Amino acid sequence: MDYIDPHIHMVSRTTDDYRTLAQMGCVAVSEPAFWAGYDRGGVEGFRDYFEQLTAFEPKRAGWYGLQHYTWLCINAKEAEDVQLSREVIAMIPEFLERPGVLGIGEIGLNKNTKNEATVFLEHVDLAMRTGELILIHTPHLEDKHQGTRMILDMLTGDSRIQRERVLVDHVEEHTIRAVREAGFWAGMTLYPTSKCTPERACDMVEVYGPDRLMVNSAGDWGPSKPTAVPDFILEMRRRGHAESLIRRVVYENPLEFFAQCGRFEFTPR
């Protein structure tokens, strides 16, 4: 089955991973900007990173017929440095008109601090001023519930936001309902030891239905599995779900969300 991984950090993966994704049926990836595993020293580090995301990664993906899209931001882990964050946010518009850029992301919270919230709001303001889609990271483990609620508070407190143009990622059983009831898209991330397993993601599709719901691997430099979406597909099939339902979650829904970006161009296979 053709599928799209709407959240994967390919700069952290090998070229062989692109090949494997293509072999597994992946036709497109969307890569949010995120933390490199260390704090970057200044705004020029982000300029170089955005160059990599918008120029080299699409080329590398193209070697195996994959279409590559990306999102730009300074991530929540580095948002404690508000001055650096403001320099990066001011620089982002240099890259917004490049092909394949889908919007601002993955912005969000990490430890739910005041500085993280301040930088989150300034990213949202940039997205509103430039008419961009937003992709949101929600915190991990014990911080997820509170952080997700804080994010929803900030989003619903901004009357400029069109909720169908925002994807709130890494939802789990205790956050998915609030995200969807507020009118946002929700993403389920399949990780080996945290976030969701393919089985629990299937459970959430069964409980909440496929509307405004996606599934991703969030493959990165840590413990993660870039082919996790095919694991989800297999589990859905094992449970006897219709191919049309599976395709909606792993292919049609990402396309519907991405298509709201005016720059989005996609060639079906």
Considering only residues 91, 154, 182, 255, which one is a binding residue for other proteins as defined by CB under 8 A? Answer: 154
Is residue 203 involved in binding other proteins (CB under 8 A)? yes
Interatomic CA distance for residues 191 and 206, integer angstroms = 19
10 Å CB burial of residue 195 (0-12, 13-18, 19+) is buried
Is residue 59 involved in binding other proteins (CB under 8 A)? no
Task: Closer to other proteins by CB, 8 or 246: give it.
Answer: 246
Bridge partners of 69, per DSSP, are 30
Task: Closer to other proteins by CB, 22 or 121: give it.
Answer: 121
Beta strands in 43-128 (DSSP E): 67-72, 101-108
Task: Closer to other proteins by CB, 70 or 138: give it.
Answer: 138
The amino acid present at 147, given as its one-letter code, is: G
Interatomic CA distance for residues 85 and 21, integer angstroms = 33
Contact 191, 158 (CB under 8 A): no
User: Would you give the DSSP letter of residue 161?
Assistant: -
Considering only residues 2, 94, 173, 265, which one is a binding residue for other proteins as defined by CB under 8 A? Answer: 173
Interatomic CA distance for residues 107 and 75, integer angstroms = 6
Is residue 163 involved in binding other proteins (CB under 8 A)? no
Strand-by-strand arrangement of the 26-32 sheet: 3-5, 26-32, 67-72, 101-108, 133-137, 166-168, 185-189, 213-216
Stretch that binds other proteins, among 27-35, 72-80, 149-157, 221-229 (CB under 8 A): 149-157
Q: How far is the CB of 171 from other proteins (least distance, A)?
A: 11
Stretch that binds other proteins, among 3-11, 52-60, 122-130, 187-195 (CB under 8 A): 122-130
Considering only residues 174, 192, 243, 266, which one is a binding residue for other proteins as defined by CB under 8 A? Answer: 174
Task: Closer to other proteins by CB, 81 or 125: give it.
Answer: 125
From residue 209 to residue 248, the character string flagging contacts with other proteins as x (rule: CB under 8 A) and all else as - is xx----------------------------xxx-------
Is residue 140 involved in binding other proteins (CB under 8 A)? no
CA 60 to chain centre: 19
Of 136, 135, 209, 197, whose CA–CA distance to 172 is shortest?
A: 197
Q: How far is the CB of 154 from other proteins (least distance, A)?
A: 6
Considering only residues 16, 41, 142, 267, which one is a binding residue for other proteins as defined by CB under 8 A? Answer: 142
Contact 223, 189 (CB under 8 A): no
Interatomic CA distance for residues 119 and 2, integer angstroms = 36
| Positions that interact with other proteins (CB under 8 A) | 112-114, 117-118, 121, 124-125, 128, 141-146, 149-150, 153-161, 172-174, 200, 203, 205-210, 239-241
